[in-house]
């Protein structure tokens, strides 16, 4: 009689787990504008910051370079992207295509509880503006959009959108300083009004204007 097969025990991969932790944490910092455009990073510095060796730090950087969140020069210098006018325009155009589509798909599922949640997040945006907290503002602003877009149930489009956000994170930090905001984005109110009214054309227009208007002020 052949004995039943036994499962091979899974050996933990601490290096892999460490690399994923560093990747996610650094990705979040970049997306939320905690690093400015063109800011240099070192593998040693990343390792020290997150308490890991060079190997997981290197792998996390490799993934972020592939996503466009970091640049890697021929000399090995790692930095956040300093976007050209052409690149800003390209990424703004992507936001103008992707995000109105997500909002439109979310509209049929935009129940009152979701709208109330968006109102609460927008109040949080106001608090960050009052505190002059640039990274907090970017984080809450992205949460406002992501909370709406999750209702679209379109994970592929949302993943593409988040990659654009990631590439724009440091630039959004620079934009916040340029705008000197004293109140939350005006178009958030228009987005909320369109959701309440079930107004798809109005929603598309409000989202498109909200996600592109500021970025284009950086050009020139």
Q: At what angle do helices 155-179 and 134-150 cross, to 10 degrees?
A: 150
The token pair at 91 is 């990424």
- Is the distance from CB of 121 to CB of 140 less than 8 angstroms? yes
- Enclosing H/E stretch for 208: helix 200-216
Predicted local distance difference test score (pLDDT) of residue 27: 95
The mean pLDDT value of the chain amounts to 88
pTM: 0.86
Predicted local distance difference test score (pLDDT) of residue 8: 41
Predicted local distance difference test score (pLDDT) of residue 162: 96
pLDDT tens for 196-205 read 999 999 999 9
Kindly report the length of the chain. 220
Using 70 as the pLDDT threshold, list the residues of the chain that sit under it.
1-16, 178-181, 218-220
Predicted local distance difference test score (pLDDT) of residue 12: 44
Predicted local distance difference test score (pLDDT) of residue 173: 83
Predicted local distance difference test score (pLDDT) of residue 215: 77
- The torsion angle over the Cα atoms of residues 49, 50, 51 and 57, rounded to 10 degrees, is -100
């Amino acid at each position: 009689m052949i004995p039943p097969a036994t499962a091979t025990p899974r050996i933990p991969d601490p290096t892999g787990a460490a690399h994923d932790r560093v990747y996610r944490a650094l990705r979040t910092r970049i997306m939320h504008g905690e690093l400015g455009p063109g800011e240099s990073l070192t593998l040693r510095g990343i390792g020290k910051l997150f308490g890991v060796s060079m190997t997981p730090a290197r792998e996390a950087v490799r993934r972020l370079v592939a996503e466009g969140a970091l640049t890697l020069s021929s000399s090995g210098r790692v930095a956040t992207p300093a976007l050209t006018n052409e690149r800003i325009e390209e990424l703004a155009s992507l936001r103008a295509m992707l995000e109105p589509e997500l909002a439109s798909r979310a509209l049929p599922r935009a129940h009152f509880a979701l709208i109330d949640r968006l109102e609460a997040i927008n109040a949080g945006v106001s608090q960050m503006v009052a505190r002059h907290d640039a990274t907090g503002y970017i984080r809450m602003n992205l949460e406002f959009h992501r909370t709406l877009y999750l209702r679209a149930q379109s994970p592929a489009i949302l993943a593409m959108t988040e990659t654009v956000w990631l590439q724009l994170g440091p630039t959004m930090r620079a934009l916040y300083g340029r705008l000197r905001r004293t109140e939350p984005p005006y178009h958030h109110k228009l987005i909320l009004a369109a959701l309440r009214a079930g107004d798809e054309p109005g929603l598309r227009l409000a989202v498109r204007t909200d996600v592109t208007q500021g970025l284009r002020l950086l050009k020139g």
